[in-house]
Structure 1
Amino acid sequence: MTTGLSLHVGLNKVDPAKYGGWDGELVACENDANDMARLARAAGFKDTTVLTRDGTVENITAELRKAADKLADGDILLFTYSGHGGQVVNLDGAEDEPDEFDETLVFFDREFLDDELYREFGRFADGVRILAFLDCCHSGSAIEVRELLSPEAMEQQFQTREPSEIENTSRLMPVLKQHEIYERDKEFYQGLQRELRQEKGRKEPASGLLISACQDNQLASDGPVNGKFTETLLEVWDRGAFKGGYRDFHRDILRRMPATQSPNFYTAGRPGDAFLGQRPFTV
């Protein structure tokens, strides 16, 4: 009998002492985590939820490692994150990041590099199905975003063209704050990137599926109850009435989203057609 474990992270704030006075307040991220946990529980997963103040690097990696110790070939991990997204400069412009940035999840105490998440996924046994849903911004710098998205498109998504108001209603860590924190902690992040790069060359990448809230050049919207992506995902899922595989699931979510926020479908390693063709959240 297969086992399904799920971890749901939702951060409505971060620690201002760690982010130069910025608390990153959002509205709907804890709701997203709780609603995804309910979905997972109904699908047969044993779920764990980590909210705001508990959403530290130590706590989240500890939960992922507990799951890695328990799951074996054929089992499944579901990981969901709702909160701010950010970026740090990619050391030496590594080939795996054509835009020369590492995307980050903005945890309570520091930014968590995308390669750190992949390292944690790499701890799982071969054959474990890894499924991740990330409701956060994975955009480039503010210059790139504002060049690629017209003022009209930004106003359509956020009902304003004012950059500060857009940052307040999206899940993008403010770009000036990203630069400030990176300059302050540059040595730490560069050392971490070197370590991760060395490890990456010694191990096959984990196989998994990521469906994220938007493309690299887009922003993810917060909301009064759920983030726009999570809200749409739950509507498409329709309490389990959805029929089809993961590509169908992504397609139907995409169709309901505004053109300014297009969820991404991304596979790492070799997740296999059997996994991708399963009904979503199959344990």
Structure 2
Amino acid sequence: MPTKTATPAKKATPAKPAALSLHIGLNAVSPTHYGGWSGDLAACEADADDMQAIAKSKGMKPTVLMTAQATRAAVLAALRKAAKTLKKGDFFFLTFSGHGGQVADVTGEEIDRKDETWCLWDSQLIDDELYLELSRFAAGVRILVLSDSCHSGTVTRDAVPTPTQPGGARSRMMPPAIALRTYRNHKAFYDGLQQDVAASAVKSGFIDPDAALAQVAVTSTRLTTVVNSFAPSVILISGCQDNQTAMDGDFNGAFTGRLLQVWNNGRFSGNYTQFRHLIAAGLPPTQSPNLFVLGSAASFLTQRPFTV
């Protein structure tokens, strides 16, 4: 009788990376928290929708928080859920479209004594907090952050542009007077947030958030000494430089609209660095998108944008 030949064991197919996304778009904020200012914008919810469409097209599971839904509790809960879920090799896509603001830095690390913020519906999310939340992701998780908002590194910047025509472009910067009023009215709250983050960083062994992420959308020379201590790999492309204003629009923000043109429904085939350069090339010199990385992101930068 012929001897049966053993069938070679099949090699296990590597599991496909998991991918989650969070898209935040605020066409207004609550006047209750912001001293009577509602910060009306036109295109931020559309930006979030368009970013969600890209996420879905790449197989990600998206969460979308629009205007009144984009509360501090909801945003932090979504970030923490993603951090607990994703493992090495997985992908997280985070986008914000709305106003950028500032609060006084009470932990003493910011050169300009200001912390940059995202203006959420019921309060601001400080850059210290965002850094700490990203620090909680596992080593090897790839995180892409797109921020279409103003992040100023100084309080002395250009005056807020006014629309040139009804429905025309407007600034995504919280007016300095409103920023000062909001901080004054909620000083204990914002000071406490920064102190809590600093204490949590020390307790957990994280690098001081201010020293590691002075401005969430700006490259800082202070990052070079802590970048290797950051577990996940983060790429952030911002809507403008720290001393510039990101502009709103009728259908998309200027940055998001240009990004969609370059992406061209998925026809773009370059890497992240090329992606940022082409986006910047289509915007005026008054709004120059920036790119920086945290963690070991060299190979991440060479990938095609949004690759899971």
When normalised by structure 1's length, the TM-score is 0.89
Matched residue, 2:221: none
Q: Which moved more, 1:21-30 or 1:206-215?
A: 206-215
Structure 1 residue 99 displacement after superposition:
2.3
Report the Cα distance in structure 2 between the residues aligned to 1:110 and 1:271, rounded to whole angstroms.
32
Q: Give the partner amino acid of 2:285.
A: A
**Which one has a bigger Cα radius of gyration?**
2
Matched residue, 1:23: 38
Matched residue, 2:297: 272
For residues 162-215 of structure 1, the C-alpha deviation after alignment (integer angstroms, 9 at most, x for no partner) is: xxx9xx810011110100111111122112112212333422445311101000
Q: Cα–Cα, structure 1 residues 234 and 51, in superposed 2: closer, same or farther, change >3 Å?
A: same
Structure 1 residue 272 displacement after superposition:
2.4
Please state whether the residue corresponding to 1:263 is helix, strand or coil: coil
Structure 1 residue 79 displacement after superposition:
0.2
Of 84, 87, 95, which aligns to 1:72?
A: 87
Q: Which has the higher helix share?
A: 1
> For residues 9-158 of structure 1, what are the structure 2 equivalents within 5 Å?
9-94=24-109, 97-141=110-154, 144-146=156-158
Structure 1 residue 159 displacement after superposition:
4.5
Report the Cα distance in structure 1 between the residues aligned to 2:255 and 2:234, rounded to whole angstroms.
20
Report the Cα distance in structure 2 between the residues aligned to 1:158 and 1:210, rounded to whole angstroms.
28
Structure 1 residue 141 displacement after superposition:
4.8
> For residues 216-235 of structure 1, what are the structure 2 equivalents within 5 Å?
216-235=242-261
Report the Cα distance in structure 1 between the residues aligned to 2:83 and 2:180, rounded to whole angstroms.
34
5+ residue gaps, structure 2? 1-15, 207-228
Structure 1 residue 26 displacement after superposition:
0.4
Report the Cα distance in structure 1 between the residues aligned to 2:183 and 2:252, rounded to whole angstroms.
29
For residues 39-79 of structure 1, the C-alpha deviation after alignment (integer angstroms, 9 at most, x for no partner) is: 11111211111101100010111111111121100001000
Report the Cα distance in structure 1 between the residues aligned to 2:296 and 2:24, rounded to whole angstroms.
23
Q: Give the partner amino acid of 1:215.
A: Q
Q: Cα–Cα, structure 1 residues 136 and 21, in superposed 2: closer, same or farther, change >3 Å?
A: same
Report the Cα distance in structure 1 between the residues aligned to 2:297 and 2:40, rounded to whole angstroms.
39
Q: Check whether the contact 1:208–1:267 (CA below 8 A) recurs between aligned residues.
A: yes
Q: Check whether the contact 2:93–2:145 (CA below 8 A) recurs between aligned residues.
A: yes
Q: Which moved more, 1:16-25 or 1:211-220?
A: 16-25
Report the Cα distance in structure 2 between the residues aligned to 1:274 and 1:141, rounded to whole angstroms.
33
Q: Check whether the contact 2:107–2:195 (CA below 8 A) recurs between aligned residues.
A: no
Report the Cα distance in structure 2 between the residues aligned to 1:209 and 1:140, rounded to whole angstroms.
20
Please state whether the residue corresponding to 2:20 is helix, strand or coil: strand
Q: Give the partner amino acid of 2:268.
A: F
Q: Give the partner amino acid of 2:302.
A: G
Q: Check whether the contact 1:118–1:205 (CA below 8 A) recurs between aligned residues.
A: no
Q: Check whether the contact 1:93–1:101 (CA below 8 A) recurs between aligned residues.
A: no
Matched residue, 1:185: 186
Report the Cα distance in structure 2 between the residues aligned to 1:140 and 1:36, rounded to whole angstroms.
26
Structure 1 residue 158 displacement after superposition:
6.0
Matched, 1:253 2:265: no
Q: Give the partner amino acid of 1:58.
A: A
Q: Check whether the contact 1:129–1:271 (CA below 8 A) recurs between aligned residues.
A: no
Report the Cα distance in structure 1 between the residues aligned to 2:234 and 2:201, rounded to whole angstroms.
16
Please state whether the residue corresponding to 2:40 is helix, strand or coil: coil
- Matched residues, percent identical? 46
Report the Cα distance in structure 2 between the residues aligned to 1:99 and 1:131, rounded to whole angstroms.
27
